[in-house]
Chains A and B, each alone.
Chain A
Amino acid sequence: MAPPLLSVRDLSVRIRSGESIVHAVNDVSLDVEEGEIVGVVGESGCGKSTMVKAVLRLLAPEAEVPSGSAVLAGSGDLLALDHKRLRQVRGAHVGYVSQNPFGALNPIYRLDRQFHNLVAAHRKGTSRGESRRMAAKMLDAVGIAGPDRVLDGYAHQLSGGMAQRVVIAMSFLLDPRLVIADEPTTGLDVTVQRQILDMVAELARADGRAMLLVTHDLGVVAQYCRRVVVMYAGRVVESGPVADVFTSPRHPYTQALLGAVPRPGQPLERLPGAVPDLRVLSEGCAFAPRCRSAFDACSVRPEPTPGGDGRTVACHLEKEPADAAAR
């Protein structure tokens, strides 16, 4: 089997905040195969956005990455690349769709110029006309009618949905093999959110492009992703093929997360307690205080354990279900 397109290993991120240190991401490992859409899900604050930003080295100066690697096939470890190589990889080999489209676009320059800067940064000597043709074609592909008018305008003249389509067009423009989409619909109107998610997932699937999709929309994950990674308190608690994980979740947190999806005729489950304080690195399982099935073994942190079926679960119940049942 070919090596995965993106292979993240033991990635940790610490963020300095005044006197304290937030352990935002801890020992996260995940793979994205060629042409595969992988969903990353979890509550807000679970570290999923920080994790993908760390992979692209987009963290604020307050953050540091004490350990881990993120190997992109053919390019090497993104976390160890020098600035020149990193710049060549970003945008050209790895596309990025950011959270807030208005924030992502430059407010001062015309969009035409921003597209040109992007193309010229990776393909030296591209003419204005050439980059404009590329941009217009891509804008058309993301469902913008009349690309010329958009290209001659400024970011603030766009609606939220259109701005996000423009951002998606920029991310896909140079035909990257992998696109990282970080909650691409945050801040958009609810009616638009689904349209955009459908469009971006469809676009990736049509070209056989790999995508790492960070979202809290479990419906989108179920519909488009082949595999899913569930994060809690900066760690991966469960991962595996979407069909298996969603039909038979093994980690109590995944069970709770799926239970919180409203279904007709079923009462909504509530998860007691609050997200743990990431300023304190706990010895045990971070989910234990909120877990119904917690038992004494949970005072030691469970390691993610791969099963034979392509699934990985970080829970002591996996090894000692009898123990827990006897409790």
Chain B
Amino acid sequence: MADTFTVGGAKKPRWSVVREHPSAAVSALFILVLLVAGTVLPMPYDPRMPDPFATLVPPSAEHWFGTDSSGSDVFSRVIAAAQVDLGLALGGTAVSLLVGVPLGLLVSSKGAWGERSVRALDAFQAFPLLILALALVSLSGNRMSMVIVAIALINVPRYMRLMRSEILALRESRFIEAAYATGSSRLRVMWRHLLPNSLGVILVQTSLTIANAIVIIAAMSFVGVGATPPTPSWGSMIRAGAENMAFGQWWVAVFPGLFVFLCVLCFNRIADALGDITSVRRN
């Protein structure tokens, strides 16, 4: 009985979360390993060091993922790029979260003001956001900090919409009514009731935002904006391997692409699991 559900919704032992969502647990582990691997593990080659005598070597025991057209070891670069790409994605998401959630709470107030803010967000939807993000980074002279701003620019409106719809739904529920009826102040209701109860959707959205940010960052460096050579990044590596692709040297682009794909897959899995866990808790 101890590890099955109980009617009252008592807390389950911590490990059962891992057991019930094995793919999410593996995903989290994979991301963690990627984040620290570049610093902790010894790399077979210097990721920034070209070797003119070993260009476009196919994957082998010596070069696991082969080498690119300048002779750099693809495996070492892929691992080194993980910190750059994931770092930017996590940073951009953190800023989106910290700005978007409070702004979302702000626009979820009832009345004409909140309504008008949402109309403004609607208009914002009309922007080609990817182009805008690219323009922002490029026009600022390719500053890395602007990559984070661009990610935030895309995602802050999403957080705001999410918070607003969630809070408007929560407002209708009995316990919020009860909190107001017993004389709690608006700020207190927000802090003690609305925010904790939206934590589930915020967590899910955050995981999805990271996945989305990884794709956008890769797309940016793929076209030569943001993290560009010599800084290793998955997008620029895919770009470098793009010409080789049509000539059969697939490994230069495929391995970094595979890592983008895996990271996105992992964060999507984590989002699914978070959704399951938080909706079970809520019921």
A, B co-complexed: yes
| Complexed CA–CA distance, A18 and B5 (Å) | 10
Question: Do the beta carbons of A274 and B7 come within 8 Å of each other?
Answer: yes
| Closest A residue by C-beta to B279 | A18
Q: How far is the CA of A20 from the CA of B3 in the complex (A)?
A: 12
Q: Which of B4, B20, B276 has the most CB of A within 10 A?
A: B4
Decide if B10 is an interface residue (CB 8 Å cutoff).
no
Contact residues, A243-293 vs B (CB, 8 A):
274, 277, 279
A18 touches B4 (CB 8 A): no
Q: Is A279's CB under 8 angstroms from B4's CB? A: yes
Does A19 belong to the interface (CB within 8 Å)?
yes
Q: Is B61 located at the chain interface by the 8 A CB criterion?
A: no
A277→B4 CA distance, assembly (Å)? 12
Which of chain A's residues has its CB closest to B19's CB?
A19
B7 touches A20 (CB 8 A): no
Residues in chain B near residue A277, CB distance under 8 A: 6-7
Closest to B20 in A: A19
Q: Across the interface, do B280 and A20 meet the contact criterion of CB distance under 8 Å?
A: no
Chain A residues contacting B20 (CB-CB under 8 Å) are 19
From 1 to 57 in chain B, residues with beta carbon under 8 angstroms from any chain A beta carbon are 4-7, 20
Specify the main secondary structure of chain B where it touches its partner.
loop
Q: Are B280 and A18 within 8 A (Cβ)?
A: yes
- Taking the closest CB of chain A, its distance from the CB of B95, in whole angstroms, is 35
**A window 2-41: CB within 8 A of B:** 18-20
Give Cα distance in the complex from A277 to B1, angstroms: 12
Within the complex, the shortest CB–CB distance from A184 to chain B, in Å, comes to: 26
Residues of B contacting A274 in the complex (Cβ-Cβ under 8 angstroms): 7
State the Cβ distance, A24 to closest chain B Cβ, in Å: 15
Q: Which A residues touch B4, using CB under 8 A?
A: 20, 279
Interface residues of A in 90-141 (CB under 8 A from B): none
How far does the alpha carbon of A19 sit from the alpha carbon of B6 in the complex, in Å?
Answer: 13
Residues of chain A within 8 A of B276, CB atoms compared: 18
- CA–CA, A189 and B276, complex, Å: 35
- Of chain B, the residue at the smallest CB distance from A17 is B5
Q: How far is the CA of A19 from the CA of B16 in the complex (A)?
A: 12
Chain A residues lying within 8 Å of B7, measured Cβ to Cβ, are 274, 277
- Bound complex: CA A306 to CA B276 (Å): 46
Nearest residue (CB) in A for B7 is A277
What residues on A are CB-neighbors of B280 within 8 Å? 18
CB-CB under 8 A from A20, the residues of chain B are 4-5
Which residues does chain B contribute within 8 Å of A18, judged by CB atoms? 276, 280
Report the minimal beta-carbon distance from A181 to chain B, rounded to whole angstroms.
29
A298 to chain B, nearest CB (A): 20
- Cα A137 to Cα B215 with chains together (Å): 62
In the assembled complex, how far is the CB of residue B229 from the closest CB belonging to chain A, in whole angstroms? Answer: 48
The docked-state distance in angstroms from the alpha carbon of A19 to that of B280 is 11
How far does the alpha carbon of A279 sit from the alpha carbon of B6 in the complex, in Å?
9
Give the Cβ gap from A155 to chain B, nearest Cβ, in Å. 23
Q: How far is the CA of A162 from the CA of B40 in the complex (A)?
A: 71
Within 8 A of A (CB), among B76-110: none
In the docked arrangement, what's the CA distance between A274 and B8, Å?
A: 11
Query: Which chain B residues in 176-230 approach chain A with CB under 8 Å?
Result: none
Write out the residue numbers on chain B whose beta carbons fall within 8 Å of the beta carbon of A19: 5, 20
A225 to chain B, nearest CB (A): 32
A18 to B281, CA, bound (A): 13
- Least CB distance from B8 to A in Å reads 9
Residues of A within 8 A of B6 (CB): 277
Residue of A at shortest CB range from B4? A20
User: In the complex, how many angstroms separate the beta carbon of B278 from the nearest chain A beta carbon?
Assistant: 13
Contact with B along A188-213 (1 / 0, CB 8 A): 00000000000000000000000000
Q: Report how far A20 CA is from B6 CA in the complex, Å.
A: 11
CA distance A169 to B85 in the complex (A): 63
CB distance from A55 to the nearest CB of B (A): 28
A18 to B20, CA, bound (A): 10
A176 and B20 CA atoms in complex are apart in Å by 48
Specify which chain B residues have a CB less than 8 angstroms from the CB of A279 in the assembled complex.
Answer: 4-5
Q: List residues of B (118-149) whose CB comes within 8 Å of A's CBs.
A: none
Q: How far is the CA of A277 from the CA of B5 in the complex (A)?
A: 10
Alpha-carbon distance A11/B167, docked complex (angstroms): 43
Interface residues of B (CB under 8 A from A): 4-7, 20, 276, 280
5 further A-B contacts with Cβ under 8 Å, apart from A277-B6, A277-B7, are: A18-B276, A18-B280, A20-B4, A20-B5, A279-B5
Sample of 6 A–B contacts (CB below 8 Å): A18-B280, A20-B4, A274-B7, A277-B6, A277-B7, A279-B4
Hey, which bits of chain A sit against chain B, CB under 8 A?
Answer: 18-20, 274, 277, 279
A-B interface, 8 closest residue pairs, ranked by CB to CB distance from nearest? A277-B7, A20-B5, A279-B5, A19-B20, A20-B4, A18-B280, A274-B7, A279-B4
